[in-house]
Amino acid sequence: MVNSLDNIAGCKVILGISGGVDSAVAAVLLREAGARVEALHMTNWDDQDGYCTAAEDLQDARRVCSALDIPLHHVNFTKQYRERVFAFFLSEYQAGRTPNPDVLCNREIKFGEFRRYARRLGGDAIATGHYARTALLDERPALLKGKDSEKDQSYFLHAVTAEAIGESIFPIGDLEKSEVRDIARDYGLAVHDKKDSTGICFIGERPFREFLANFLPAQPGPIRTVQGELVGQHSGLMYYTLGQRKGLGIGGLAAAPEKPWYVVDKELRSNTLIIDQGDSLRLLSDTLLASDVNWIGPPPAGLQAGRALHAKIRYRQADQACEIQVQGNRELEVRFASLQRAVAPGQYVVFYDGDRCLGGASIDVSWLRASTVTDSETRSAAES
């Protein structure tokens, strides 16, 4: 079964309320649809260091629930978050990869621990303020993109199970962000103009390097060009990601042309950061290998023969045409029809069939399969 605003009248729905405008309007729409709504606010990070907004968010959640006359529960998942999300985040950075903790937070906490807690509260379904939609396709729960293409969050939900998707409601999935703010304003909700949260939740507005250094020892090392020339010192490989331009601290080099420098590789064994200038071929690839695959429902037919789909290798990227093929045990080879720039190990490749999000996998390695690359292809990839 897939729940929606059309079939939840009389059902008890436990809404994850963050204190922001999206979940506040989700509460409005659930109540208008006739659901018996109760809100549950999660505390997943509790450092009192001036950067975390958890206390402020809880107060905003209380104001919204009071204005809408909705019961509010509060639960602390900080232990589970540190064990299942933050520990993985640190281990990935230590391994030289670039993790995305929001994906794991959705799978383990918001649609894992939260969902189990909602059952204890007697909930028939759960709801969140995500920009996504659900449907029943081929008699199975399916995850669809949100209507607002600028806010669509299906990328971050690709690791959630089909069972959890079937028990979830995304009330604002058919709305544009501007419509959400208009509804909040019409209802006199104080959060109608609250700024959207950005970045990694537990880092907030604090300097990233400062935060990470509290947990992982920085290991400075050499910065070399692709030709092997020593041009500087890096602060620690964990602070850099493929395609990064800013923060290299090398300035202009006398013998080099006036083109920007980019991170093109990280050599863990020698603790060396590799950089190159301009439209470097070292940043381009058209094939990747991914593991830890999650399909929302049965895997798409035709994987063994090479199935044509679309995929994203980062949030907000336009859908890219590709073919995927099973390789070994729970590994996928993804071949793109066009060049991809700065494919970062540790990030996720997420698969789509039109608006339907089929699932995704963790990127392990990428390479350039094409034997020749034209200048126009290189420029196009560099701009993407």
CA nearest neighbour of 384 among 320, 323, 325, 336: 320
Q: What is the DSSP letter of 86?
A: I
> How far is residue 151's CA from residue 301's CA, in Å, rounded to a whole number?
29
Q: How far apart are CA 263 and CA 282, in angstroms?
A: 9
Which DSSP letter does residue 345 get? T
Asked if residues 325 and 363 have their Cβ atoms less than 8 Å apart, the reply is no
Measured CA to CA, the distance from residue 196 to residue 106 in angstroms comes to 18
Tokens of 296: 């929302």
Q: Which of 213, 220, 377, 360 is nearest to 284 (CA)?
A: 377
Residue in 52, 105, 322, 357 annotated catalytic: 105
Q: Are 170 and 142 in contact (CB under 8 A)?
A: no
Inter-residue contact 205 to 40 (CB < 8 Å): no
To the query of whether residue 201 is one of the catalytic residues in this protein, the response is: yes
Secondary structure (DSSP) of 61-82? HHHHHHHHT--EEEEE-HHHHI
Q: Which helix (H) or strand (E) element contains residue 264?
A: strand 261-267
Q: Are 162 and 298 contacting, i.e. CB atoms less than 8 angstroms apart?
A: no
Q: One of 52, 65, 201, 357 is an active-site residue; which one?
A: 201
In sequence order, what are the residues at sequence separation of 6 or more whose Cβ sits closer than 8 angstroms to the Cβ of residue 119?
none
Neighbours of 162 (CB within 10 A): 17
- Is there a catalytic annotation at residue 322? no
Q: Catalytic positions, please?
A: 105, 201
